[in-house]
Amino acid sequence: MIKIINIVVLLFLITTAGCQNNKNTQEHKAMKYNKLTPEEERIIINKGTEQPHTGIYNDFFEEGIYKCKRCGAELYKSNAKFDGHCGWPSFDDEIDGAVKRIPDPDGMRTEIVCANCGGHLGHVFEGEGYTDKNTRHCVNSVSISFSPLKGMIKEIEIPKTETVIFASGCFWGTEHWMKKQKGVISTEVGYIGGHVRNPSYEQVCSGTTGHAEAVKVVFNPNEVSYEKLAKLFFETHDPAQVDRQGPDIGNQYRSEIFYTTDNQKQISEKLIKQLKEKGYKVVTKLTQASKFWQAENYHQDYYEHKGTKPYCHFYTKKF
């Protein structure tokens, strides 16, 4: 009888301990991950992608550690971060064991996730030659958080940004001048204004796609006005030339401003009027911005990589 009672008591204790352990496990799971906003869930859980040039860490280069937004695991050190000219934070190395690589369902790319919680970070690319490690982790800002070296959480203000697309001949020279201007957050060369999806450089040069070689300029209007950038545009090329710029001939080398706001259009019209009143001929077109296609990587920051200067874009004061 005593033996039976002891067995019953033992089973009760095991059951109670199991329930308690299960309760603790559930509480641990509930406390394991940070609460996410709907946008963070869309990207981190459902493997979405934030819009390029919108993330708070894209142009951020403070010293510290980047952590997983979902679980807080340390992922990247700040000395691995570089400017990938892609619109998303770029890292050429991760903290050992922090990032897991998974073949993407599209069969072409490799997804990267937090090794601790499986949260989606972005994709990894190799062989692009941006750094000696020849690797680029393209990460969504939404997927990560930042802790400075001192360990104090720093609030990062998201600067107000504005975008305009300038076409003034070979996009190498246009970008060269725009990226030198204080207040410009990023520049990206590409193609716009045509009728072919995702055209190649060779297709655009054939003159059959209708695209213009152009530069997408993202800037902080609190630091530089659109008017100042537009003046720089007019002063670094000859707006009197039709479908050419210097030795470059073809419709892809036309002078055109692809505006994104009515204010940009009005300011451009004002500047064109001022130039004409000064005796300048201006054939520059004003067109509302449409789909912008990024050019091949070797075209990005061309003169910076080559260490040379533009051959057909020279500064001439006109205003």
Instruction: Given the residues 86, 114, 170, 312, select the one marked as catalytic.
Output: 170
Spatial distance between the Cα atoms of 310 and 234, rounded to a whole number of angstroms: 15
Spatial distance between the Cα atoms of 72 and 51, rounded to a whole number of angstroms: 23
Based on the number of CB atoms within 10 Å of its own CB, is 295 exposed (0-12), middle (13-18) or buried (19 or more)?
Answer: buried
Is residue 170 annotated as a catalytic residue, yes or no? yes
Directed axis angle between helix 226-235 and helix 262-277, to 10°?
40
Residues 6 or more apart whose CB falls under 8 angstroms from that of 231 comprise 271, 318, 319
Of 40, 43, 56, give the one whose Cα is nearest residue 154.
Answer: 56
Spatial distance between the Cα atoms of 102 and 265, rounded to a whole number of angstroms: 46
Spatial distance between the Cα atoms of 185 and 161, rounded to a whole number of angstroms: 8
Instruction: Given the residues 68, 86, 114, 138, select the one marked as catalytic.
Output: 138
Is residue 138 annotated as a catalytic residue, yes or no? yes
Spatial distance between the Cα atoms of 142 and 121, rounded to a whole number of angstroms: 9
**Catalytic sites, residue numbers:** 138, 170
